[in-house]
Amino acid sequence: MKDQWTDRLSEYLDGELGAAERAALEGHLATCAECGATLAELRRVVARAGALDDRPPTADLWPAIAEQIGVVSLPARRARRRIAFTVPQLAAASVALALASSATAWLLIRPGARAPVVEAPTPAPSAPATLATLATAAMYPDKRYAAQVADLERALERGRGQLDTTTVRVIEKNLRIINRAIREAQSALAADPANSYLNLHLAQEMRRKLELLRQAAALAGARS
């Protein structure tokens, strides 16, 4: 359900509502479980953003990753971690954050890590890159998401010789299960694009796929 307060939740989180509006919204939250649930989702995404480690890696791999996902200036993003998005944007942002953190983590842990080759650089946007641009870029994530997944899958393919065949089978089987969930969520979302549950569910399954790929790549790396 979308009521008059739904679109104000991110302002509420950012502390941008006046005292009267804030009190009114808090009164509404006490009786509207739907808005409460949405607010909880927003808090999770914001917490996820806030949990990202700002320490620069020993080898700065971000520029290549950023270029792949269409973001240019990390310093600008780091300097301004203030968030004011709509629910679908936040859902998309959570995927983008998962993409960035998963890919970065994997790149850092894999043996002989080197900056990834950028196959098709995206033109740099003129506006400073913030989480907003990250979210906007992730609103249409398929191409870039697929590229990130493909990178991890290639890494897994390279390292699969280090893994037991049973383990490889199990990982592949579970990736198929997640792929099916992603396809079903995408199909449902195509019919109901404004559905916040479907947006968040799709984001969750996409994140889960990246996490499993990262876990598998780490296992392969640990055994090599």
Partner 1 sequence: MLTTLTTLAALALQQTDTTVPVRSGARLEVNNFGGEIAVKTWSRSAVRVEANHSSRDRIQIVASDQSVHVKSEGGRHGPGTIDYNITVPTWMALNLSGVYTDIKVAGAQNEVTAETVQGEVTVLGGSGTVSLKSVQGSVTLEKAKGRIDLNSVNEEIKATEISGDISAETVNGDITLLQIESANTEANTVNGDITYDGTIKDAGRYRFSTHDGDLRISVPEKANVSVSVSTFNGDFNACFPVKLTGKTKHRFSFTIGSGSARLEVESFDGDIKICRPGQVTKDESHKDKDKEEE
**Binding stretches for partner 1 (CB under 8 A):** 1, 3, 30-34, 36-37, 40, 164, 166-167, 170-171, 173-174, 176-181, 184-185, 188, 192, 195-198, 201, 204-205, 208, 212, 215, 219, 223
Q: How many residues does the chain have?
A: 224
Comparing CB distances to partner 1, the nearer of 60 and 157 is: 157
| DSSP assignment letter at 54 | -
Q: What distance in Å separates the CA atoms of residue 5 and residue 1, rounded to the nearest whole number?
A: 11
**Least spacing, CB of residue 188 vs partner 1, in Å:** 5
Taking the least distance from each CB to partner 1, the nearer of 77 and 209 is 209
CB of 218 to partner 1, least distance (A): 11
Q: What share of the chain is helix, strand, coil (3-state, %, to 5)?
A: 70, 0, 30
Q: Which residue, 197, 186, 191, 103, is CA-closest to 145? A: 103
Between 110 and 201, whose beta carbon lies closer to partner 1?
Answer: 201
Query: 40 or 120: whose CB is closer to partner 1?
Result: 40
The stretches of 81-164 forming alpha helices (DSSP H) are 87-109, 131-139, 142-159
Q: What is the DSSP letter of 6?
A: G
Minimum distance from CB of 83 to partner 1 (Å)? 20
Smallest separation, CB 221 to partner 1 (Å): 13
